[in-house]
Each structure stands twice: as C-alpha cells, then as structure tokens.
C-alpha cells in the first residue's frame, strides 16, 4: 500500500477524527494481486478502526515483511473486542453496531479477498479490553 493509497483510504473515513501514524517498510516488495479489491480491504479495516476509536484516539498502519509474505497491520486503541465476539466477527451479518450502522459484512468480504484471492489471511488480536490489531497477509511476488 503506498502512502497515497493510505491517504485516500483515510479520506473515506474523514468524517471521523483520529490521529494516524504510518510506517511502511522498505523491505515490502511487490504483491501480485488485485489492487482495487485490496483497497477495499484497507477501507473496511480502517472503517472499523475509525468506528472503534469513535471520534478520538489513535490508528496506526504499518507494513512489514515476514518470510515470503507482506503484512499490513491496522492497529487501533479503541475498546478492543471481547473474547466472546472474537469468535464471531468473520461471520456474515455479525455486527455489534446498531441497525442501519453496520451490516456485519466488512470482515467477511475482506477475509474472502485476502484469503481466497491472495493466499493470505486476516488475523485479529485484541489485547485485553484495548487495542484491536488486524494483521492481513498476502503472498508477495519476488
Ligand atoms: N477494530 C475493531 N475494534 C472493535 N471491534 C471491532 C473492530 N473491528 C471489527 N470489530 C467488531 O467486529 C464486528 C464485525 O465487523 P464487520 O466489519 O464485519 O461489520 P460491521 O463493521 O459491523 O459492519 P459493516 O462493515 O458491514 O458496515 C463489528 O460489528 C465489531 O463488533
Ligand atoms: Mg466494518
């Protein structure tokens, strides 16, 4: 993800305010894939992070190289995800947002794009009651 792509993803979520930090590893080479679909993944993850920090808070985007995979992490310091909800968040139509606010499809769609289309996976980690980390990987082309 280039800086300009990150900026446009943030523009989409710009009705909400948060501090954004970006760290892009120079070790991340090219990823063979479908750019517009991957852009949708970043938007979905940033959208969730922006909802979680709810008008204040911090979101970090970082990329790194792990073996033959490119890893994109989107980290927020919102309330986190309870262990009960963690096992459901990839299910279609699972949402904790009110009727009309969330369809419960963002992560289902994102998992399909990353997993089925790019041979990667989305891992989610929630440390205690704070910090949700979404780690998306995709096989990188050398
Ligand atoms: N960063 C996060 N912090 C806290 N909870 C999260 C985070 N990301 C996802 N969730 C939880 O996972 C649920 C499912 O997320 P998902 O993106 O699939 O659907 P949604 O955001 O509710 O609706 P949609 O994305 O379709 O508008 C959310 O309703 C929320 O409870
Ligand atoms: Mg969502």
Q: What is the pLDDT of residue 142?
A: 37
Instruction: Tell me the average pLDDT across 131-135.
Output: 69
Give the domains, in start order, of the chain with CATH numbers. Answer: 3-139 (3.30.565.10)
CA distance 123 to 36: 21
E strands, 19-140, where?
A: 19-24, 58-66, 69-76, 122-127, 130-139
Site to substitute for ligand 1 among 40, 106, 108, most atoms within 8 A of C-beta: 106
**Ligand 1 nearest-atom number relative to CA 49:** 1
Cα 26 to middle of ligand 2, angstroms: 29
SS3 87: coil
Nearest ligand for residue 50 CA: 1
Least confident of 57-71, 111-125, 127-141: 127-141
Could you tell me what percent of the chain has a pLDDT over 70?
81
Total-model pTM: 0.87
58-66 and 130-139 beta bridge pairing: unpaired
Confidence of residue 11 (pLDDT cuts 50, 70, 90): low
Which two structure tokens, joined as six digits, stand for 104?
A: 């419960």
Q: pLDDT (tens digit, 9 = 90+) per residue, 50-92?
A: 899 887 788 899 988 888 888 898 999 888 898 899 899 999 9
Alpha helices by DSSP H, the chain: 3-12, 35-53, 83-86, 106-111, 117-118
């Amino acid at each position: 993800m280039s800086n300009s792509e990150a900026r446009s993803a943030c523009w989409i979520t710009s009705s909400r305010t948060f501090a954004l930090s970006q760290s892009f590893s120079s070790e991340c080479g090219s990823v063979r894939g479908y750019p517009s679909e991957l852009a949708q993944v970043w938007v979905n993850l940033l959208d969730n992070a922006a909802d979680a920090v709810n008008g204040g808070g911090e979101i970090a985007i970082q990329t790194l190289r792990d073996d033959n995979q490119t890893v994109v992490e989107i980290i927020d310091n919102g309330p986190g995800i309870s262990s009960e909800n963690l096992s459901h968040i990839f299910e279609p139509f699972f949402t904790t947002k009110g009727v009309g606010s969330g369809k419960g499809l963002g992560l289902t769609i994102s998992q399909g794009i990353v997993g089925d289309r790019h041979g990667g996976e989305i891992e989610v980690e929630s440390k205690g009651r704070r910090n949700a980390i979404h780690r998306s990987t995709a096989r990188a082309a050398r």
